[in-house]
Structure 1
Amino acid sequence: MDITKKVVLIGKFGVGKTSLVQRFVHQKFSDEYLTTIGVKIDKKIVEINGKKLSMLIWDIAGESSHQKIPSSYKLGAQGIFYVFDLTRPSTFGDMSVELNELENILSGVPIKIVGNKKDLISPESFDALRKQLSPNILYCSAKTGENVEKAFYELGTEMLA
C-alpha cells in the first residue's frame, strides 16, 4: 500500500520550481520559461527504505511575497521545498523571514531549502555564496539534474520519519 504525502514547492517567480518538478517526475528539462498560474499538481511514486511513497507535488505560482500565496495551497502539506535562484540574490534576500513564516504556519513540517540553477554560477561565485548561506541548503540544477533526485528523496525520507 502506498503512503501518500503532499509536497509543496514555494519560491519567488522564475527560480525553477517547475523545472525541478519536470526533472524529477519526467526526467525532462526545457529552457522555455512558462509561468505557473495558480498551482500545478504532479505525482510520483518512489521507494524509500522499502516503503512506497506517493508524492503529490504542488508547484505553486511564484510570488514576490509568500504572504500572497493562498494559504489553502499550503494546507495539508507534509513536506516543503523552499526554492531560490542562486543567480538572483533578490530571491533569497529575505529567506530567514520567509522560512520563519512557513514554520509558524506549518509547524513540524519538514522544509528542504534548495538553491537552484547551480549550472549558471561560476565555481568561484558559488563558493563565495555558499559561505554566506546556511549549511542546510541543497544546491541543485534542474538543467543538469544535479542533486534533484537527492532533494526529493531526502525530503521523502524526512516525511516518512
Structure 2
Amino acid sequence: MLQKKICLLGAFGVGKTSLVRRYVDTIFSDTYLTTVGVKIDKKVMTVGAEEMALILWDIAGEDAVAAVRVSYLRGAAGYLLVIDGTRPETLETAASIQSRITAEIGAVPFLALLNKADLVEDWAIPPERVEQLESAGWTFRRTSAKTGDSVEDAFQELAARLAK
C-alpha cells in the first residue's frame, strides 16, 4: 500500500482541523480548538486500483507572530493550502506560505481550498486575486467543512495527483 504525507497549511482559524475531522471522521464541531504544533491523522482511500494511506499533518496556523515551520513539510508528497473565504488576509497568508515552500523544498503538488463556502453571503476573497493566482498555476476548490461540500473531492483530487 502506498503511503503519502499530506500537510494542511494556512492562517489560524481557516478550518484546517475541521476539514481533517470532516474527511477522516465525517463530523463537524463548531467548537474552535487551536492546533499546537502538529496533529497527525491517517485515512486509507482507493485511488484508481490502488489503496493509498494518507498521513495527514494538520499544522498549526500562521499569523504575524508564528510562521509555519518548513521542517514539518519534509517528506510531504503534497499539501492543501486552506483559505477562509470570508477573510481575504488568509489568502495572502497562503500566498506567503506557498512562496516559502517553493523556495525551501521546490515544487510539490498542492490545492488551494477556499473553505467556508457555506458562508458565501459573507465571501470577501477578491475574484481578481484568485484569477491572478490561477494564472500562476494554483488550483482552487471551494469547500465547506461544516456541510462537507467538496471536502472528500479535494482530498481525492490531491491523492490522484500524487498517484501519478
Q: Normalising by the residue count of structure 1, what TM-score does the alignment of the two structures yield?
A: 0.90
- C-alpha deviation, 1:39, in angstroms: 0.5
Contact 2:11 2:94 (C-alpha < 8 Å) held by counterparts = no
Structure 1 counterpart of 2:152, from 145, 149, 156:
149
Alignment of 1:86-125 (within 5 A): 86-122=85-121, 125=123
Residue aligned with 1:122, SS: helix
- C-alpha deviation, 1:121, in angstroms: 2.1
RMSD (CA atoms): 2.0
Q: Which runs of 5+ in 2 are unaligned?
A: none
- C-alpha deviation, 1:132, in angstroms: 3.9
**What does the per-residue CA deviation read over 1:110-149, in whole Å, with 9 as the maximum and x for residues that have no partner?**
01111100101228x57x8445413421010000001100
Contact 1:12 1:65 (C-alpha < 8 Å) held by counterparts = no
Q: Which runs of 5+ in 1 are unaligned?
A: none
**What does the per-residue CA deviation read over 1:80-116, in whole Å, with 9 as the maximum and x for residues that have no partner?**
1011100011111354343222222232310111110
Q: Normalising by the residue count of structure 2, what TM-score does the alignment of the two structures yield?
A: 0.88
Q: For 1:159, give the aligned amino acid.
A: L
Aligned residues: 158
Q: For 2:71, give the aligned amino acid.
A: S
Select between 102-111 and 31-40 the one with higher mean Cα deviation. 102-111
In 1, Cα distance between the equivalents of 2:140 and 2:102?
16
Contact 1:66 1:98 (C-alpha < 8 Å) held by counterparts = no
